[in-house]
Structure 1
Amino acid sequence: MFSEAWKSCKNILCIRLDNMGDVLMSQPAIRALKEGIQGRKATLLTSGAGSSIAPFIPEVDETITFDVPWVKTNEIRGEQQLLALANELRSREFDAAVIFTVYSQNPLPAAMLCYLAGIRKVLGYCRENPYQLIAQWVPDKEPLDYVIHEVERQLRLVGMAGAKTSNTKLLLEIPKEGRQNVSDKISDLLVSSGIRADEPWLVLHAGVSEEKRLYPASDYISACRSLIKQGYRIVLTGSGSERDYVGEISRQLGGVAMNAAGELSIAELIALIAAAPVLVSNNTGPVHIAAAVGTPVVVLYAMTNPQHTPWQVANQVLYFEVPSKLRTKNRLLQSFHGPSTPRASPEGIVAAVTELVSLSGKHLSGATRLTWSAAAGNRVMPSIPSGSGFSGFDEYNICSRHQHENVK
Structure 2
Amino acid sequence: MDQAALVVGPSWVGDMLMSQALYRRMKQQNPERRIDVLAPDWCRAVLSRMPEIDNAIAMPVGHGSLQLGVRRELAKELKKNGYHQAFVLPNSLKSALVPWLAGIPRRIGWRGEMRYGLLNDLRVLDKQAFPLMVQRYAALAEAPLESAEQLPPILKPKLRIDNDGQQQALAQFNLVTDNAVAFCPGAEFGPAKRWPDYHYAALAAKLIAEGKQVWIFGSKKDHPVGEQIRQQLSPSEQAQCINLAGETSLEQAIDLLALADVAVSNDSGLMHMAAAVDTPLVALYGPTSPQHTPPLSDKAEVIRLIDGFIKIRKGDADQGYHQSMIDISPELAFQSLQKWLKG
TM tier, shorter chain? 0.7 to 0.9
279-288 or 211-220: bigger deviation: 211-220
Q: Is the 8 A contact 1:30 1:59 kept in 2?
A: yes
Spell out the pairing of 1:55-74 with structure 2 (5 A cutoff): 55-66=48-59, 68-69=61-62, 71=63
Match in the other structure for 1:96: 85
Match in the other structure for 2:319: none
Instruction: Say whether residues 1:44 and 2:37 are aligned partners.
Output: yes
Q: Is the 8 A contact 2:282 2:336 kept in 1?
A: no
CA distance change for structure 1 residues 181 and 135 in 2, over 3 Å: closer, same or farther? closer
Rounded to whole Å, the distance in 2 between the matches of 1:52 and 1:239 is 14
SS at match of 2:36: strand
SS at match of 2:233: helix
Q: Is the 8 A contact 2:45 2:251 kept in 1?
A: no
| Selected match of 1:251 from 231, 236, 241 | 231
Gaps in structure 1 of 5+ consecutive residues: 1-7, 328-339, 364-408
Q: Is the 8 A contact 1:99 1:107 kept in 2?
A: no
| Selected match of 1:84 from 43, 64, 73 | 73
Q: Is the 8 A contact 1:204 1:279 kept in 2?
A: yes
Q: Is the 8 A contact 2:39 2:58 kept in 1?
A: yes
Q: Is the 8 A contact 1:299 1:318 kept in 2?
A: yes
Rounded to whole Å, the distance in 1 between the matches of 2:201 and 2:241 is 10
TM-score where L is the length of structure 1: 0.69
Q: Is the 8 A contact 2:263 2:280 kept in 1?
A: yes
SS at match of 1:204: strand
Match in the other structure for 2:256: 272
Report how many aligned residue pairs link the two structures.
323
CA distance change for structure 1 residues 59 and 165 in 2, over 3 Å: closer, same or farther? farther
Rounded to whole Å, the distance in 2 between the matches of 1:52 and 1:83 is 25
Instruction: Say whether residues 1:141 and 2:130 are aligned partners.
Output: no
Q: Is the 8 A contact 1:278 1:353 kept in 2?
A: no
Match in the other structure for 2:11: 18
CA distance change for structure 1 residues 267 and 258 in 2, over 3 Å: closer, same or farther? same
Rounded to whole Å, the distance in 2 between the matches of 1:266 and 1:246 is 17
1:121 positional shift: 0.7
CA distance change for structure 1 residues 133 and 323 in 2, over 3 Å: closer, same or farther? closer
Instruction: Say whether residues 1:220 and 2:209 are aligned partners.
Output: no
Spell out the pairing of 1:182-331 with structure 2 (5 A cutoff): 182-186=166-170, 189=173, 192-193=174-175, 200-211=179-190, 212-254=192-234, 255=238, 256-304=240-288, 306=290, 307-319=292-304, 324=312, 326=314
Rounded to whole Å, the distance in 1 between the matches of 2:112 and 2:172 is 51
Per-residue CA shift, 1:39-76, capped at 9, x if unaligned?
2100001112221211100100001111545x45xxx6
Q: Is the 8 A contact 2:193 2:313 kept in 1?
A: no
1:234 positional shift: 1.4
1:77 positional shift: 6.8
Rounded to whole Å, the distance in 1 between the matches of 2:96 and 2:280 is 37
| Selected match of 2:98 from 100, 113, 128 | 113
1:114 positional shift: 1.9
Rounded to whole Å, the distance in 2 between the matches of 1:38 and 1:226 is 48
SS at match of 2:232: helix
Q: Is the 8 A contact 2:9 2:16 kept in 1?
A: yes
Rounded to whole Å, the distance in 1 between the matches of 2:28 and 2:269 is 26
CA distance change for structure 1 residues 355 and 299 in 2, over 3 Å: closer, same or farther? closer
37-46 or 247-256: bigger deviation: 247-256
Rounded to whole Å, the distance in 2 between the matches of 1:114 and 1:305 is 32
TM-score where L is the length of structure 2: 0.81
Rounded to whole Å, the distance in 2 between the matches of 1:220 and 1:324 is 22
Q: Is the 8 A contact 2:197 2:229 kept in 1?
A: yes
SS at match of 1:312: coil
1:269 positional shift: 1.3
Q: Is the 8 A contact 1:213 1:301 kept in 2?
A: yes
- Opposite residue 344 of structure 1, the aligned amino acid is M
Match in the other structure for 1:132: 117
1:204 positional shift: 0.6
Match in the other structure for 1:332: none
1:305 positional shift: 5.9
1:87 positional shift: 2.0
229-238 or 37-46: bigger deviation: 229-238
Match in the other structure for 2:336: 355
Q: Is the 8 A contact 2:202 2:330 kept in 1?
A: no
CA distance change for structure 1 residues 263 and 84 in 2, over 3 Å: closer, same or farther? same
Rounded to whole Å, the distance in 2 between the matches of 1:265 and 1:38 is 30
Rounded to whole Å, the distance in 2 between the matches of 1:108 and 1:79 is 12
Q: Is the 8 A contact 1:107 1:125 kept in 2?
A: no
Match in the other structure for 1:383: none
RMSD across aligned positions (CA): 3.2
Rounded to whole Å, the distance in 2 between the matches of 1:281 and 1:42 is 31
Rounded to whole Å, the distance in 2 between the matches of 1:355 and 1:245 is 23
| Selected match of 2:140 from 151, 157, 160 | 157
Match in the other structure for 1:172: 159
Gaps in structure 2 of 5+ consecutive residues: 146-150, 316-321
